[in-house]
Chains A and B, each alone.
Chain A
Amino acid sequence: MSAIIFRRLLQAIPVLFIVVTLTFLLVRSAPGNPFSTEKKIPPEIMEELEKQYDLHGTIWHQYGQYMAKVARGNLGISTQYRNRTVNEIIAQTLPVSMTLGSLAFCMAMAIGITVGGWAAVRHNQAGDRMLMILALLGISVPSFVLAPIMVLIFAIWLQVLPVAGWGSPDQIILPAICLSIPFAAAIARLTRGSLLEVLKLDFVRTARAKGLSEDAVLFRHALKVAILPIIGFSGPAAAGILTGSIVIETLFDIPGIGPFFVNSAENADPFMTSGVVLVFSSFLILFNLVADILYYVVDRRVKLE
């Protein structure tokens, strides 16, 4: 097991290398100078700036300088926020995004599995159909439409939750709900489908025949098997929540990493863009590894039983 984990982690290095290389070279080769402003800067100043940031010379030279820094764990200084290193920005904003993202992820899982299970138990009844249509709707409505409507209802008209911002626990509720809904819907669909399959299997019938309660059948037996595709989906779901949080953080004025990514991409900030892409990718690779291990463990236990 540990050998597999080690190999996977080793594999991640070339992947991250390729991703960072691609991002840096793309941003640097595209037109657009990170230092230009509306008013023309004297060429001497521009030269000095580029020198200070190791953004002078050929693109390969710049790339070499950057990678040498990255290898030492230094992601450079943001060209947009000149008093801040990328490490510093990420260190301050990533925890915020993580708090929001992890809550949304847990909510998506909890709501999705609950709703999916409920629907599966009532297969083809009115409630099931209703829920599945709702779930499809949840997938089909973009979060940037859902969010302002939710704000209008809960924050402006009902005045039960704050409109935006960050700092107190009630400010996380609306953004987390808006972020989790599409994934809760997807997981609900997946759970329902997978449970329906499992409930047809022999061991479930045996369990029922043994006189176990429906509850026990569902939780102790059926869901244990049916959870496998959901674990498999958790990787893509995490990726989706990570990208989705970019929009949600912008809409709710949350000091996460998302707005910095958008800002850096717009302003041709090569260090910030590459840094965020690197962090996002490493996190997702790690998360997928954990999900795979979990899958493996659950799968083996299921097979043993």
Chain B
Amino acid sequence: MKTLGLFFQVVRRDPFLVACALFLVGVTTLAFVGVHFTGYTYDQISNDSLLQPSGAHWCGTDINGRDLLTRTLSGAQISLVVAALGALVSLTIGVSYGMISGYVGGRVDNVMMRVVEIIYSLPTLVLVIVLVTSLDQTVSNLMRSVGLTQIPPRLVLIVLFLGLTEWLTMARIIRGQVLVLKEQAFVQASLALGQSHWNILWRHLLPNLGGIIVVYLTLTIPAIMLDESFMSFLGVGVPSPLASWGTLISEAATSINPIRVYWWMLLFPGGLMALTLLALNFLGDGLRDVLDPRGRS
């Protein structure tokens, strides 16, 4: 609760951040609620192929004659869900890793941080592409055998592996914070009182990390969104007929040519994605300026 209070306090101080936060709430609402009121579904084809924006199709249509507004909004759903879940994966790993490393300290800390550095120096996205393409079939069979036929396996793999690549910064920051926190009086006192390490980590340290976690979560989400669009462009994105912002804009980007530009195919999904990324980054930066002790001076 303390975190949330701080969050509002920060946001109230800067009206621009309020605008960013409101924008994000708006996009999310449109994506999950508004999409049902467009009059079309994301996979509904029509004979109006590659139509300019008009009264019937506010954002035009794609080559299959599908309504681009609907697809942009359902793309928002996918992109937001992928990014949020991916960020959650990275958060879980990053926070636990950073906390353990910082709390235990010593040799363990040394080794754990060395591992982070090594992973930092690997071409992780390249590895993710190899992983996603080669595990697709296996995961697909696995999911079918347990009856999960509704969720595309690709989606699960993307969320998992993008989450697995983006936890490094989080782990480093959390470790740094824990190193400072654990020397403070309340932790030392709890230790003296004989509280278990688990208790100290969970009850005392974690709540104090809330602010910084929120900040880096806000910054991880756009990073994952960009990674996802990169993968979509290389053809390892979400499966058709589903579409994320990444798939929509990579489809549009391949159609930019000197003769005829279908500008609406790029402008609407691309614009919405860029604005969302901007809002998230601004929000993250703004929060960090206030919450991160380095930036607080």
CA distance A140 to B257 in the complex (A): 23
Q: Contact string, B215-254, partner A, CB cutoff 8 A, digits 1/0?
A: 0000000100010011001110000000000100110111
Given the complex, which residues of A lie within 8 Å of B270, measured CB to CB? 141, 145
Secondary structure dominating the interface of B: helix
B266 is contacted by which of A27, A133, A145, A277 (Cβ under 8 Å)? A145
Given known pairs A139-B281, A145-B249, A239-B122, the reply for A247 and B138 (CB within 8 Å) is: no
CA distance A262 to B230 in the complex (A): 12
Q: A277 to B126, Cβ gap below 8 A?
A: yes
Residue A110 CB within 8 A of the other chain: no
B137 is contacted by which of A30, A156, A243, A261 (Cβ under 8 Å)? A30
Q: B278 to A247, Cβ gap below 8 A?
A: no
Q: B123 to A152, Cβ gap below 8 A?
A: no
Given the complex, which residues of B lie within 8 Å of A30, measured CB to CB? 133-138
Residue A82 CB within 8 A of the other chain: no
Q: Which residue of B lies closest to A16 (CB)?
A: B122
Residue B184 CB within 8 A of the other chain: no
Q: Which residue of A lies closest to B132 (CB)?
A: A265
Q: B256 to A152, Cβ gap below 8 A?
A: yes
Interface residue count on the B side (C-beta < 8 Å): 48
Interface residue count on the A side (C-beta < 8 Å): 48
CA distance A294 to B129 in the complex (A): 31
CA distance A200 to B230 in the complex (A): 39
Q: B130 to A239, Cβ gap below 8 A?
A: no
CA distance A278 to B229 in the complex (A): 25
Residue A64 CB within 8 A of the other chain: no
Q: B127 to A23, Cβ gap below 8 A?
A: yes
A31 is contacted by which of B127, B129, B137, B254 (Cβ under 8 Å)? B137
Which residues of chain A (231-247) have a CB below 8 Å from chain B? 235-236, 239, 242-243, 246-247
Q: A242 to B121, Cβ gap below 8 A?
A: no
Please list 7 pairs of residues, one from A and one from B, whose beta carbons are closer than 8 Å in the complex, sorted by A's number.
A23-B130, A136-B277, A136-B281, A136-B282, A152-B261, A277-B126, A281-B121
